[in-house]
Chains A and B, each alone.
Chain A
Amino acid sequence: MKRYIIVGLGKANKKIKPASFYQLGSKLASKCNVEKTQNVSIIFPPQLAESIVNDTSNSTSGELNEKLSSHFSDMACQFYTTLYSDNRYRTRDNKKFPAEKLSSVKFILDMECDDSEAKNESIDITSALVEGKNIARGLYLAKDIVNAPHNVLNSDSLADTARKVAKESNGLIQCNILGKEECEKRGMGAFLGVARGSETDPQFIHLVYKGEGEIK
């Protein structure tokens, strides 16, 4: 049995707002959850280029590619974020796994272009989807931190989380943590004064991001 859903993308000659792709990603994820589907294909019609770029005749393929990547990154991010479920403090039947059976999501771009262009776009959009997933991962962590109670998330465990983040960044993020003694040596009295109210020792967390490529 095959299931079909038709989704409206607005008027053909009207430009789509960037925030609309966030909403679309969220709606698609909700539908995948409700339908309990395994493999999903989402077909975008040829008019997608017209609705993204103002004037397709004057715009370059690079501009179109950039905007497509940005929109698909937003959509992928929101797709993952909609499926977030914090099961860390749930037990047995209370645990929720949205779209548990989902194994693949394929966006089909029905665009008229020659093979070489199509391949290039495919590569760029694939990287945009990866970017969207990485942003969603960051949002997952932020939600985890906000949701955690104080006995789980204290200065020690937050410092440990910062170390893990730096470790998983493959050198892009450097982590430097100062303990109680180091803070005392540096005369950080105000910080230590506030930390005296805590059950755990103070941890001064310093994360430095050094991105690759040119500085914009």
Chain B
Amino acid sequence: MACIGFTFLLTLASASFFNTATSAKTFAKPSESSSSSPFLRNYRDRNRKGNIASFLFPSKKQLSKIVPFKTWTFDDPCDQMEWSQMPNFTMSVETDSTSSDMAIADSDLVILGVYADGDKLTSMEEEEQTTNEVENDVEDESDENDESAENSDQEDFSLPLLEGKVKKVDESLNGAITSFIEESASTFKNGTIFGAMTPTFRVLQTGNENGSNKVRS
């Protein structure tokens, strides 16, 4: 009987203690600190310093730092695998002249494909071959290197073919594309290399009544 009585008293005591603690945690305000118990003051002090209480009851901001994502855990195997999303843009082909003109006008980046002049290059390559054959006979190697360098320079400065829409764009920009190709001939190689690209050049709209453009590269 004595044992049962002791257990009952212990239960009552613990219940009253936890009631005080939870009510204090829920309703207590900083202004009431003078009238609250030493236990609560101690609890609030700890909370302000951010030691144990902040660890036990972290804020949402703290939680986001601790748990970065909720899609999976190391503890359990996942039932599903997330898929990567494809980029969301439209891809289309324009063959009609008017619609392609509109597409060029609307776009902020225009990539112009150009072909190198095949006939011109083949004749130049033939010339290069013949000069190399002649040069092989000559004993002086330094002269040979100089001549081949000159040939490569000549090849660089021959302009690629501009036809159709590309030619129209070039004309609308007052030959800016042609001059830009000339400038970047050493790296661009007249479009001989498939996929070789020039640096980007920008055209500023000046807003004149004549509709003239200001080219800046």
Contacts and interface: CB of A to CB of B under 8 A. Distances in A.
Interface of A: 1-14, 16-17, 20, 23-24, 27-28, 31-32, 35, 37-48, 51, 72, 76, 79-80, 83-89, 91-92, 97-100, 102-111, 113, 115, 118-119, 121-122, 125-126, 129, 133, 136-137, 140-141, 143-145, 148, 151-154, 156-158, 160-161, 164, 199-200
The 5 tightest CB contacts between A and B, nearest first, are A8-B191, A13-B118, A110-B164, A12-B118, A12-B115
Given A20-B195, A108-B100, A2 B110 contact: yes
A108 B81 contact: no
B157 to A, nearest CB: 15
Contacts, number: 291
A109 B94 contact: yes
A41 B169 CA distance: 12
A40 B111 contact: yes
Interface of B: 68-69, 71-74, 76-84, 86-87, 89-96, 100, 103-104, 106-119, 121-122, 160-161, 163-166, 169, 173, 177, 180-181, 188-205
Given A46-B164, A106-B92, A126-B93, A7 B87 contact: no
A129 B202 contact: no
A63 B81 CA distance: 42
A41 B110 contact: yes
Given A35-B200, A98-B87, A126-B92, A11 B192 contact: yes
A105 B90 CA distance: 6
A132 B111 CA distance: 20
Nearest to B193: A8
A8 B107 contact: no
A76 B194 contact: no
A210 to B, nearest CB: 24
Nearest to A106: B103
Contact of B197 (A7, A11, A106, A113): A7
Contacts of A106: 91-94, 100, 103, 107
A154 B69 CA distance: 19
Contact of A3 (B79, B109, B173, B193): B109
Contacts of B181: 6
B81 A145 contact: yes
Contact of B189 (A8, A121, A144, A199): A8
Contacts of A12: 115-119, 161
A42 B163 CA distance: 14
A24 B110 contact: no
Given A40-B107, A83-B87, A144-B83, A46 B163 contact: yes
Nearest to A122: B95
A88 B104 contact: no
Given A7-B196, A84-B84, 6 more contacts: A8-B192, A10-B193, A48-B113, A89-B69, A105-B90, A129-B93
